[in-house]
Amino acid sequence: MSVNLPRPTYTKTASHVPGNCHTPSSGQAAWYPPVMAGADTLGAKVSRAETILQALVLMQRLSPDAYTTYLKDFYSHGLERFESHWRYADIVTVLLCLADALQPRNYLEVGVRRGRSAAAVASKAPSCAMALFDMWQPDYAGMENPGPAFVTSELKSIGYQGQASFIDGNSHQTLPRFFAQNPNVMFDLITVDGDHSELGAAQDMCDVLPRLAVGGALVFDDISHPLHPELNGVWQTLVVSDDRFSAFSYREAGYGVGFAIRKY
Ligand SMILES: C[S@@+](CC[C@H](N)C(=O)[O-])C[C@H]1O[C@@H](n2cnc3c(N)ncnc32)[C@H](O)[C@@H]1O
């Protein structure tokens, strides 16, 4: 059932992502807005076979669980069957491409679980600072949810060298508290993959969207998940229909994923 969604409150931001913004040479006027690559450019590779293969290799480097074991078979089967014609995207293929292209200085993630998505970022931007929010719900989706020490070791195993901060607890309390304590912080890359209820996901989005730097990317998972049909409405209402973003959506297979680049 659709509800009246909360809306984010944006303030003007002076924070730009260097990896996606043009700086005019000295003496030149800034004719265009600074962002150079939007969803068309950055989305070109996320569903290609070469990226799916990178996601498969990353999954092989992480400690397995029931979901990643399934995923490795799914990736391998699709690549065998459809070869270079296969178009498939998920949170991992998207984050591999965005982290590679943007080289984010910092990353915020709501919903970490075993560190799979954070590892995708770390594998491409090993020095990126990370603020990782989770309440470590036990037995999440029927699998163990071991917490920060496990995630730290997974990140280390793929060569992460940056500073990861874990902010434990319910995001509806921890995000507002974190931003109140860090009133000027902006992020180059953000993933929202925590509370999957319609209002809960919308609230996380409202908390983080105003903290996305210009030229940065917001990733929203599960926009075609059969158990969470409302998430696509949250994505469409809060991001796709907002002119301040250029958005990419993949809903063809798997659970779906979207990302958006902040233009202004
Ligand atoms: C779908 S999993 C995250 C998966 C991860 N991004 C990945 O790619 O493997 C969702 C996580 O969000 C956490 N979570 C759910 N509701 C939350 C809330 N309100 N606050 C903080 N974390 C939450 C759960 O504990 C779980 O670890």
Ligand 1 atom closest to the CA of 222, numbered from 1: 1
The answer to whether residue 19 sits within a structural domain is no
List Cβ neighbours of 227 (8 Å cut-off, separation of 6 or more): 196
Distance 116 CA to ligand 1 centre (A): 11
The answer to whether residue 196 sits within a structural domain is yes
The answer to whether residue 244 sits within a structural domain is yes
Nearest residue (CA) to ligand 1, atom 3: 111
Number of folded domains that form the chain: 1
Q: Is 256 in the pocket of ligand 1 (CB under 6 A)?
A: no
Distance 168 CA to ligand 1 centre (A): 11
What spatial distance separates the first Cα and last Cα of the chain, rounded to whole Å?
32
Q: Is 91 in the pocket of ligand 1 (CB under 6 A)?
A: yes
Nearest residue (CA) to ligand 1, atom 5: 112
pLDDT computed for residue 12 by the predictor: 85
The answer to whether residue 9 sits within a structural domain is no
The answer to whether residue 29 sits within a structural domain is no
- CATH code at 256? 3.40.50.150
The answer to whether residue 183 sits within a structural domain is yes
Q: Are strands 164-168 and 187-192 parallel, antiparallel or unpaired?
A: unpaired
pLDDT computed for residue 2 by the predictor: 60
pTM: 0.98
pLDDT computed for residue 14 by the predictor: 78
Residue stretches of the chain with pLDDT short of 50: none
Nearest residue (CA) to ligand 1, atom 9: 116
Q: Is 132 in the pocket of ligand 1 (CB under 6 A)?
A: no
From 193, 218, 259, give the residue whose CB has the most ligand 1 atoms within 8 Å, as the site to mutate. Answer: 193
The answer to whether residue 26 sits within a structural domain is no
Nearest residue (CA) to ligand 1, atom 27: 113
Distance separating alpha carbons of residues 258 and 11, to the nearest angstrom: 23
The answer to whether residue 89 sits within a structural domain is yes
**Widest CA span in the chain:** 59
Distance separating alpha carbons of residues 251 and 88, to the nearest angstrom: 9
Q: Is 147 in the pocket of ligand 1 (CB under 6 A)?
A: no
Q: How many helices (H) and strands (E) does the chain have?
A: 9, 7
CA atoms within a 13 Å half-sphere pointing along the CA-CB vector of 128: 30
Question: C-alpha dihedral over 83, 256, 141, 209, to 10 degrees?
Answer: 130
In Å, what is the CA distance from 221 to each residue of 180, 206, 248, 256?
26, 15, 12, 7
Domain that residue 143 falls in:
34-262
pLDDT computed for residue 1 by the predictor: 52
